[in-house]
Structure 1
Amino acid sequence: MAAGIDHIVAEAGRIDVLVNNAGYGSYGAIEDVTMDEARRQFEVNVFGPMRLAQLALPHMRAQHSGTIVNITSVGGKIYVPLGGWYHGTKFALEALSDCLRLEAKPFGIDVVVIEPGAIATEWSGIAADQLENSSAAGAYAKQADAVASLMRSEAHAKRNSPPQVIADAIGKAVTARRPKTRYATGFGARPLIALRRLVSDRAFDTVISRASGLPS
């Protein structure tokens, strides 16, 4: 990471934008997922992005400008069963982004969060594979089968938004004179975030359980 940042600065003379997009979904019951895998999930989804931010910030501060874009997820605002470790990383990245936004503002640096909904990428298949590796047998097998089947279903795939909607949101964020702090985009992002704000925890539990094919 350090070598990459140094190479960019040496070649371009500055660094104006950092987009932290790396991430994957390590699904499985919290009880089932090994601690090694849980740590790997946080390394990829949280510590990697924040380390890159640490490395880019001195250059951005020196030039008194820059934009850091952290790709979180609608999963940083809501939750689904068997996604605890994944949601933990996205909730964490949301909070870290908020703190960093306040810290970096006096130096002319913007910190923006992009919150994708359902996007047509390999994410669902990888999450389903992780889920089955962790919880296909044992106490959570029925839940795992229901959620993995939903992730792989044709109906689920059809409603996903194209990746271009996220690219467009990033483009807006890094070219705006005063970017929004958050851009929620892609299938289901805005309605789900709005629903989470409006209903109680118990009511949201019921909605999510039914949508996941689980008994509520």
Structure 2
Amino acid sequence: MAHVALVTGGSSGIGRATALALHARGTTVYAAARGVDRMADLERRGINVLALDVTDDDSLRAAVGTVLAEQSRIDVLVNSAGYGAFGSIEETPLDVAREQFQVNLFGLARLTQLVLPTMRAQGSGRIVNISSLAGLFASPLGGWYSASKFALEAMSDSLRVEVVQFGIDVVLVEPGPVRTAWHARADVGLRHVSSSGPYAALARGVSKVITGFDDESITSDAEDVAAVVVTAATADRPRPRYLVGRGAHLAVAFRRILPDRAWDRAVLRRHATAG
């Protein structure tokens, strides 16, 4: 049983749904996000809420310190905070790319560093990192987002082997498209970076694809993903990876069997049709 869980990105989407799902199982949950005001309803339900900016070391230290001061342990860390910076590689300012990595990888890694000493002392713990199918294969104009998720996959694989000796499990959850505000935010960034200029036609196609996911049968609800996260967080012997969503396994299978150029043609065809 997971006694105490810290969940980032708790104000919306998968993080919020995960906080609620773990709380329903009797876990003491700390939901953390920058927008504490957006978590008032979680607090009314008995979930602890924390202000947390994953790009600020003082904020990370304060959040972990609060949980340990009140509970003296952390059994599960769910790293769910993240977003997608979309736009062509050529046109995306490197400051935007760095911020993408700061949120999706380095902030996550720093929080993990702060939690690990407690888990080692306990002789147990579970770290669940929310990745994406974009961490397994990239899409056009989503290169920086995929790069951050590819890096998360590699870091998690390495960390899993490093900490198993201390009784700590590291698990990746890899959702396909999910019905959250994520797609709308990604589309705003895409349009800002690549809606004019040499990639404009491709950007129109990518925009239609990512904003159309909410209406597709392959798209999951945040609660569907949260149910898998709970399994990953509480199973006696968790799998290293959990794919989530209709079509996720099929997409991975196609990527594995198709040669690179055949895959590229299929991806371009999808986005050209959408445009």
Return the TM-score normalized by structure 1: 0.95
20, 26, 29: which one pairs with 2:88?
29
- Which amino acid in 1 is paired with 2:140? P
Residue in structure 2 matched with residue 168 of structure 1 by the alignment: 227
Residue in structure 1 matched with residue 122 of structure 2 by the alignment: 63
**2:251 matches 1:188:** no
Q: Which fold has the larger relative contact order, with Cα–Cα distance below 8 Å and residues 6 or more apart in sequence?
A: 1
Q: Aligned equivalents of 2:151 and 2:131: distance in 1?
A: 9
1:169-195 C-alpha deviation (Å, 9 max, x unpaired): 111111111000000002432211111
Deviation at 1:152, TM superposition (A): 2.2
Residue in structure 2 matched with residue 72 of structure 1 by the alignment: 131
Structure 1 residues without counterparts, runs of 5 or longer? none
1:47-67 C-alpha deviation (Å, 9 max, x unpaired): 111111100000000001000
Residue in structure 2 matched with residue 138 of structure 1 by the alignment: 197
Deviant stretches of 4+, over 6 Å? none
- Which amino acid in 2 is paired with 1:169? V
**2:185 matches 1:126:** yes
RMSD over aligned Cα, in angstroms?
1.2
1:151-207 C-alpha deviation (Å, 9 max, x unpaired): 223xx3222211111111111111111000000002432211111111111111112
**2:142 matches 1:86:** no
- Which amino acid in 2 is paired with 1:147? V
1:114-168 C-alpha deviation (Å, 9 max, x unpaired): 0000100011111111111001111111111111122223xx3222211111111
Q: Secondary structure at the match of 1:212?
A: helix
Residue in structure 2 matched with residue 157 of structure 1 by the alignment: 214
Residue in structure 1 matched with residue 256 of structure 2 by the alignment: 197
Aligned length: 213
Q: Secondary structure at the match of 2:128?
A: strand
Q: Aligned equivalents of 2:100 and 2:139: distance in 1?
A: 17
- Which amino acid in 2 is paired with 1:5? V
- Which amino acid in 1 is paired with 2:69? A
Q: Aligned equivalents of 1:168 and 1:199: distance in 2?
A: 31
Q: Secondary structure at the match of 2:68?
A: helix
Which protein is richer in strand relative to its size? Answer: 2
Deviation at 1:214, TM superposition (A): 6.0
- Call closer, same or farther: CA 1:102–1:124 in 2, change over 3 Å: same
Return the TM-score normalized by structure 2: 0.75
Q: Aligned equivalents of 1:158 and 1:199: distance in 2?
A: 27
**2:156 matches 1:97:** yes
- Which amino acid in 2 is paired with 1:125? A
Q: Aligned equivalents of 2:273 and 2:195: distance in 1?
A: 15
Q: Secondary structure at the match of 1:150?
A: helix
Percent identical residues: 47
